[in-house]
Chain A
Amino acid sequence: MVRFLLGRLAVLIPTFIGVSIIAFSFIRLLPGDPVALLSGERVMSPERHAIISAQLGFDRPIVVQYLDYIWGILRGDFGTSIVTKQPILESFFALFPATLELSICAILFAIILGIPAGIFAAIKRGSFFDQTIMGTALVGYSMPIFWWGLLLIILFSGILQWTPVSGRISLLYFFPPVTGFMLIDSLISGQAGAFKSAASHLILPTIVLGTIPLAVIARQTRSAMLEVLSEDYVRTARAKGLSPLRVIGVHALRNAMIPVITTIGLQVGVMLAGAILTETIFSWPGIGKWMVDSVFRRDYPVIQGGLLMIAAIIMVVNLIVDLLYGLINPRIRH
């Protein structure tokens, strides 16, 4: 297991260095001069431009700038936003819980509905039920989620007036963030109605972000189940006279879950991409919206730091999934 881990790390570290070079060089390629942007509408004299350039370190050789940037990252310093002047790491940690809370809810939504749906579809293979589920899953898989979000807003916020349109909680409530998770914080605050407000804000974004993972998990569960159900050991279990519930729940499910866990792990990247759209539609104050806003504001250091941190999260999650996979399925380790 240790060798497996070291082998994975040997690939991961060069990849991460590559990611950092990409994130760093993108910013150097972006059109527009960040120093001129700072001055806003006013015209800046060449002398002043040179002074600020030097202050920000833009006048040094690019390799020195890169090494300096990496040295900063190793000490936990990702630089500061040009627009808000806040340290990037600080904004990231302030915003990340919002994305994390939304992503956890979305993946739970996808798993809780997707795995049973896939199992039933596999058991009742070819039935009307199977065809309906798989048809729905393909629609979900093909869904432009930014449109799906708008449709849900029209229906639930517009026509039915059940859910709010945007944000994480009603403006009526205010309490200091403790965990950063609005559902937990609103409970801790003890204010009447706060939890309900937080939950109702969370419903639509959860559905929107969870739709594609739900479809993917249902499809994957079904095909993994079908494969396992045709195995000899399942036939043996049936022949021994075990109840269908036991055959499916114990013998088949355990092995069918191996590819499904990998699929769930791969959804992390899908979710972070989906967060860009979902958070934009629902004005959800997370890192997806933060990235989009920064692209529009040309806030270079934020784009750079955000790219790096998001890639790091995906890589770490993939590593964890690989390790889990190695634990469940020892064949993979060698």
Chain B
Amino acid sequence: MRKGLFAGLALMMAMSVSAVQAEGPVEMRIQAMKDTGAAMRVLAKAAKGQTEISLLQELAAKTVKKTGASIPAMFPKGTGPDDAMMGDTRAKTEIWSDWKGFTAQATAMEQAGDALIAAVGAGDRAALGAALDQAGKACGGCHKPYRTPKE
């Protein structure tokens, strides 16, 4: 438990540092995705029984939910690949031409976050695994149609 607490604090610190470092909208999005990836990893390890479910997982579950809730605001108009100064973004123009479909995936992620929070709260590994599958589908459901693959 103490180990979890320290790790949780470390994660929080890492996230607050990264929030300071992030500048433009693209950098902010990339950092949010990295943080979410780290959170997913923490949750997956617990679901597999490699670590216990503790405060760290609670924080991670909340991170996933928060990312889902923040995604629409993180992609304002004018931050696509064709816009000035957004050269590094792999966001596709389809995000804005299919805004409804895009935000539906964000909502799916937010809901998966709720399921994760519930599973962590109940200390239920099986439910955590199922919620992770749900979150994973939301990740892929957005990356496939709305992100340009790395060259």
A interacts with B = no
A interface list, Cβ under 8 A from B: none
B interface list, Cβ under 8 A from A: none
